[in-house]
Structure 1
Amino acid sequence: MALRFTITRAAVAIALLLVQLGLPVRSKPVATDPYNCLDGDSEIKCCPTSNPKKIVDFQLPQQSSPLRVRRPAHLLTTEQFQKYEKATALMRALPANHPWNFIQQSNVHCAYCSGGHRQLGLNITLEIHGSWHFFTWHRAYLYFYERILGKLINDNSFALPFWNWDNPSSMSIPNIYRRNTSSLFNPTRYPIALNFTDLGGCEGDGTPDSVSKQKKCNLQLMHNQFIAGFSSSLLFFGSPYRAGDQPFPGGGSIEGSPHSPVHAFTGSDMSLIVRAALDPIFFAHHGNVDRLWTIWEKIPGNGSKVFNDTDFLDASFLFWDENMQLVRIFVRDVLDTQKLGYVYEDVPLQWLNIKTVVEERGNNDAFVAMDERDGEGDVMFPLLVSSQVGIKIKRKVGAGEEILVVNDIKLDGRDHVWFKVYVGRVDGGRVEVGCFYHLERRAKESIPMVTKKQFGITQFIQEIGAVSDEWVVVSLVPKVGGDKVTVGGVLTE
């Protein structure tokens, strides 16, 4: 095996020894154990069918040709669409056990999100959702999937399209995925998604006037989610996830919404995390998620905010590449799309600079509780999120970004859970700052989860006129499965 793999395995062994001795551990990057994967779902087996004989380290491609340009799916030319459809058909036609086969490629996602893969040298799940590796793992996954498709049609310039659901012109399933005889079709999609794609609670009745309002709601949601994750890598990417850690330390703002609602509202396969990549539109969906990372990074000052933690940069994952090699790719390899050979076509960002909508505070709050640190009030934590509740908390105003933290969110990872989070004045309006959204997992046994959610609220505080207020009201509004999740505390930092 490659030298770097040997060193990584040794590093983990040394780290475990240091922990046992009570000594500080300097480096604990997460790495995939290629020889330890367990199928936890009774319906789908997604672990690799055989152990690898050789693993090579990823090498950045030589930039001898023009950059591949990923275009919006609804703007593809006929030729571009036909190439994509042909490549996917060829992938589907490969032998069932071929690493490039469409089902096998879908299983790559499944194994990394179903409790299948284990951390190198540890019998602990490696999960790529709910942490700082959500964006990085999916970027690597799409990179190799794209290169395999290009190889199948002998076109080095082939680029995956992205589903531009943050643009009003593409807030429904693009036409290229709709024809039932196409290799890009999936029969489990919900009919409503052909008319409108909800990015997170923009309900309507499907009439033209309603859809127009729903699209404006989508734009507002996109605007708010970027504000909530604007100021730091922690807020945008999610919480650190190191070797030996339990999964789901806390996802970033975009992972909660719009990412998860697009999954849930598209269709049955897409709504189940272990089956999501069985729908070809999954890759266009995550192309747009990846594109949002590039947009966030281009905002002045954000490019320097990406984590510079070696445990982040040295984390590694395994994929089959276009040369039929099992490749170990490190997070530091995927931080620059141009070095990977691709860019995204520029399209208007109608949501970026719109005005934030301030709502009336909910009239049906179950109660208003004092901050748990105050020792008073009508509520005891942990709190079951079975009905809308407003929690009055004392602000911690400092020199930097003010962050709202929803702590100790406990649930069974098999359950679909979604609640919205608002910040408002005690006697005034409120703003939706984001949500906690967990897609259903399928497993034979319970998946105990304890996680948290963090939101940047400095700009929201300004917009509701609460800059000088000592207290704010945080409202938790259940949408799905509120009776299956508890919250251990709410505070500002």
Structure 2
Amino acid sequence: MWTVWERLPADYPKTITDPDFLNAAFLFYDEKRNLVRVTVRDCLDYTRLGYAYEASDISPWLNYSPTQRVVPANVQQLAQTAQTAAQAFPATLAETIRVVVPKPAKGKADEVLLIQSIVTDSSELITFDIYVNDDENSYDSPTSAEHAGSFTQVPHRSRTAEAPSDLRIILTELYKNINIADDDGVVVVTIVPRTNGGAVTIGGIKIETRVPAA
């Protein structure tokens, strides 16, 4: 996946220059039982590891786009069954949460959904999905136009308390797919717990104007 990601076009730089990341090291025993130190820097160029991947056609999933909506969702009607961010958070994700989130600009804008201060139990497998303006309750379909993204945590050990993290999801393409109305100044975000929702808390949610990487 790393090599596929490297080759994908992007409007941001992909070269990683953070020395803390590049110089992070791991110790392994080789086939002769010698202790070998390998840094992340050594692994970024897979040809240095002595192998290459066979080329394959990834266009079917790379170019996939969900069926676009013809009629925008009625946000005012959806909002009647949703909370404000101040009412909903902070909260444990023990059940589905639906919240009205203001947009910096109306309609189809270049924006990012920010789910803030996510705190998890590191010993648990945790997954949840995020939908925007889903008026058909299509929560069983990750291919629906309203599906914005997912959060997944693999269980792991941690010697210290888990620090809060944020999840950012670019909404620009999603707005086109859901055919958001030009005068919509809010969206309704639905967060659906899939696995161990009781082991994760969310501190807040908002939408920001997307700032392209320099």
Q: Same-fold call, TM > 0.5?
A: yes
Structure 1 partner of 2:61 = 351
Gaps spanning 5+ residues in structure 1: where?
Answer: 1-291, 373-378
Instruction: Deviation per CA, 1:466-487: give whole Å up to 9, x if none.
Output: 3743212211011122233221
Q: CA 1:446/1:490 → structure 2, altered by over 3 Å: closer, same or farther?
A: same
Gaps spanning 5+ residues in structure 2: where?
Answer: 138-143, 209-214
Q: CA 1:465/1:482 → structure 2, altered by over 3 Å: closer, same or farther?
A: same
Q: CA 1:340/1:446 → structure 2, altered by over 3 Å: closer, same or farther?
A: closer
Alpha carbons 2:127, 2:197 under 8 Å: kept: yes
Structure 2 partner of 1:457 = 171
Q: CA RMSD in A?
A: 3.7
Q: CA 1:446/1:435 → structure 2, altered by over 3 Å: closer, same or farther?
A: same
Mapping 1:63-82, distance limit 5 Å: none
The amino acid across from 2:102 in the alignment is K
Residue 365 of structure 1 deviates from its aligned partner by 9.7
Instruction: Deviation per CA, 1:311-337: give whole Å up to 9, x if none.
Output: 222222222234433222222222211
Instruction: Deviation per CA, 1:287-321: give whole Å up to 9, x if none.
Output: xxxxx221121112479423222222222222223
Q: 4+ runs of 1 displaced by more than 6 Å?
A: 363-366, 425-429
Determine what percentage of the aligned residue pairs are the same residue. Answer: 30
Instruction: Deviation per CA, 1:122-148: give whole Å up to 9, x if none.
Output: xxxxxxxxxxxxxxxxxxxxxxxxxxx
Mapping 1:9-408, distance limit 5 Å: 292-301=1-10, 304-349=13-58, 350-357=60-67, 367-372=81-86, 379-396=87-104, 402-408=111-117
- Higher normalized strand content (fraction of residues): 2
TM-score (norm 2): 0.72
CA distance in 1, matches of 2:155, 2:3: 28
Matched, 1:481 2:196: yes
Secondary structure of the corresponding residue to residue 305 of structure 1: coil
TM-score (norm 1): 0.34
Secondary structure of the corresponding residue to residue 342 of structure 1: coil
Instruction: Deviation per CA, 1:262-299: give whole Å up to 9, x if none.
Output: xxxxxxxxxxxxxxxxxxxxxxxxxxxxxx22112111
Higher relative contact order (CA 8 A, sep 6+): 2
Q: CA 1:489/1:426 → structure 2, altered by over 3 Å: closer, same or farther?
A: farther
Q: CA 1:413/1:301 → structure 2, altered by over 3 Å: closer, same or farther?
A: closer
Residue 386 of structure 1 deviates from its aligned partner by 2.0
Alpha carbons 1:316, 1:331 under 8 Å: kept: yes
Q: CA 1:301/1:454 → structure 2, altered by over 3 Å: closer, same or farther?
A: closer
CA distance in 1, matches of 2:170, 2:181: 14
Residue 427 of structure 1 deviates from its aligned partner by 10
Residue 358 of structure 1 deviates from its aligned partner by 5.5
The amino acid across from 1:459 in the alignment is E
Instruction: Deviation per CA, 1:397-438: give whole Å up to 9, x if none.
Output: 5xx963222111223222232211112378998521221222
- Higher normalized helix content (fraction of residues): 1
CA distance in 1, matches of 2:153, 2:6: 25
CA distance in 1, matches of 2:10, 2:152: 28
Find the partner of 1:421 among 130, 139, 156: 130
Secondary structure of the corresponding residue to residue 62 of structure 2: coil
Alpha carbons 1:381, 1:487 under 8 Å: kept: yes
Alpha carbons 1:371, 1:393 under 8 Å: kept: yes
Secondary structure of the corresponding residue to residue 100 of structure 2: strand
Secondary structure of the corresponding residue to residue 344 of structure 1: coil
CA distance in 2, matches of 1:451, 1:416: 16
